[in-house]
Amino acid sequence: MGLDIKKIVKPEVISFKQMTGRILAVDAYNAIYQFLSTIRGYNGEYLADNQGRITSHLSGLFYRSVNLLELGVRMIYVFDGKPPSLKRMEIERRRANKEKAKRNYEIALSKGDFAEARKYAQATSFIEGYMLEDSKNILDLLGIPWIEAPSEGEATAAYLTKMGIATDVSSQDFDSLLFGATRLVRNITISGRRKLPNKDIYVDIMPEEKELTHLLQELKIKYEQLIDLGILVGTDYNPDGFKDIGPIKALKYIRKYGSLEKIEDIQDELRKIDYLAIRDLFLKPEVIGLRDKLSWNQPNYEKILSFLCGERNFSEDKINKALDKIRKNEQEMSESLEKWF
């Protein structure tokens, strides 16, 4: 569901040019679900090749990555590992919601209500094994490193920023801040538009960032207290949160009492969840220890064309036009270096 603290977070709007030189630790599952939800046909159907294999995620990964590479932004994609046992309730809730959305989608199609069908289609997205393999394959061919987290991808992505390996976590969710990400960047869509969840409506957006230190200063709380605030509102490990407590009320409680244990009004509800274990998941998450240095390589243009166009039926003309952006960028960098010698 993602941590819902938008009402108390004041992100700073930035331009794509300001992102040049950054290294983004990308929450891979978050990005792939976003592509699967929004890159759809007229009736809300996925994009697919001539064998029926879904390609919406490939289209999103390829074109977004190319545009960011053209801007001089590097990426590290982080894939989820085994979810914590405390996340079981949230996973079941998501599965039930997808099944409900799928039924509503089919009803809307049967009625010929394509606008309604597209709305429900966004909420039916799922990731199959071959989609993950395809995603990792196109990243390899583009020369973009990816890693498999032992557990939550956002936790490892946040860890990469704390270690100075990445400059930002790229995700639409705020959860990475609870994992200690030094800076979060959202709305990384080159089109400048984003589709609203479950609606056939697009809104104009710009990239925005939030540094953890600035957030804590603005909220006038400590990092550990931000985690308690998140638990009050509701995390993936206690998705229902606490009754009648939104982010504004949660912030007031934390500022006044300091911690969950001291808030008298919630003690009955607090005893019903393992809040100490939830705290530990954010404070001491299971993350990957990188043995080898991550490397960014030159794209393999020939194999990209073979995979996307030869195997997945993408337009060769469109793929070549996108790749020309990287070729031009490489040429300009090479010419710039030659001037120094």
Q: Find the CATH number of the domain harbouring 258.
A: 1.10.150.20
The answer to whether residues 129 and 267 belong to one domain is no
3 state DSSP class of 202: strand
Whether 334 is covered by a domain: the verdict is no
Last residue of a domain, one of 167, 183, 215: 215
The answer to whether residues 227 and 177 belong to one domain is no
Residue 341: pLDDT over 50: no
The answer to whether residues 237 and 182 belong to one domain is no
Tokens of 120: 């429900």
Tokens of 213: 């230190």
The answer to whether residues 233 and 199 belong to one domain is no
The answer to whether residues 145 and 261 belong to one domain is no
Is the CB of residue 50 less than 8 Å from the CB of residue 309?
no
Residue 197: pLDDT over 70: no
Cα 67 to Cα 192: distance, rounded to the nearest angstrom: 12
pLDDT band for position 339 (50/70/90)?
very low
Whether 55 is covered by a domain: the verdict is yes
| pLDDT tens for each residue of 106-128 | 888 888 887 888 788 878 888 99
Q: What average pLDDT is seen over the chain?
A: 90
Cα 35 to Cα 32: distance, rounded to the nearest angstrom: 5
| pLDDT tens for each residue of 57-110 | 999 999 999 999 999 999 999 999 999 988 888 888 888 888 888 888 888 888
Is the CB of residue 152 less than 8 Å from the CB of residue 83?
yes
Compute how many other C-beta atoms are within 10 angstroms of the C-beta atom of residue 113.
13
| pLDDT tens for each residue of 233-279 | 999 999 999 999 999 999 999 999 999 999 999 999 999 999 999 99
Whether 314 is covered by a domain: the verdict is no
Cα 181 to Cα 169: distance, rounded to the nearest angstrom: 7
Output the pLDDT for position 109.
81
Whether 291 is covered by a domain: the verdict is no
The answer to whether residues 85 and 177 belong to one domain is yes
Is the CB of residue 75 less than 8 Å from the CB of residue 169?
no
The total domain count for the chain is 2
The answer to whether residues 176 and 233 belong to one domain is no
Residue 150: pLDDT over 60: yes
Whether 180 is covered by a domain: the verdict is yes
Whether 307 is covered by a domain: the verdict is no
pLDDT band for position 190 (50/70/90)?
low
Is the CB of residue 194 less than 8 Å from the CB of residue 187?
yes
The answer to whether residues 189 and 44 belong to one domain is yes
AA letter at 235: T
Cα 218 to Cα 239: distance, rounded to the nearest angstrom: 25
Q: What is the CATH number of the domain that holds 121?
A: 3.40.50.1010
The answer to whether residues 120 and 72 belong to one domain is yes
Walk across the sheet containing 146-148 and list its strands: 12-13, 208-211, 183-186, 168-170, 23-27, 74-79, 146-148
Whether 253 is covered by a domain: the verdict is yes
Last residue of a domain, one of 167, 191, 215: 215
Whether 174 is covered by a domain: the verdict is yes
Question: Of 226 and 200, which is predicted with more confidence?
Answer: 226
Cα 227 to Cα 221: distance, rounded to the nearest angstrom: 10
Last residue of a domain, one of 186, 215, 244: 215
- Residue 102 lies in domain: 16-215
- Those residues whose C-beta lies under 8 Å from the C-beta of residue 164, and which sit 6 or more positions away, are none
The answer to whether residues 195 and 271 belong to one domain is no
Distances (CA, A) of 24 to 194, 275, 311: 20, 31, 29
Which one, of 171, 168, 133, 135, lies nearest residue 152 by Cα? 171
The answer to whether residues 96 and 227 belong to one domain is no
Neighbour-count burial of 288, counting CB atoms closer than 10 A to its CB (0-12 exposed, 13-18 middle, 19+ buried): middle
Cα 253 to Cα 264: distance, rounded to the nearest angstrom: 10
Is the CB of residue 171 less than 8 Å from the CB of residue 27?
yes
The answer to which of 36-40, 109-113, 332-336 has the lowest mean pLDDT is: 332-336
85 alpha carbon, distance to own chain's centre: 21
The answer to whether residues 139 and 264 belong to one domain is no
Question: What's the rounded mean pLDDT across residues 173-198?
Answer: 82
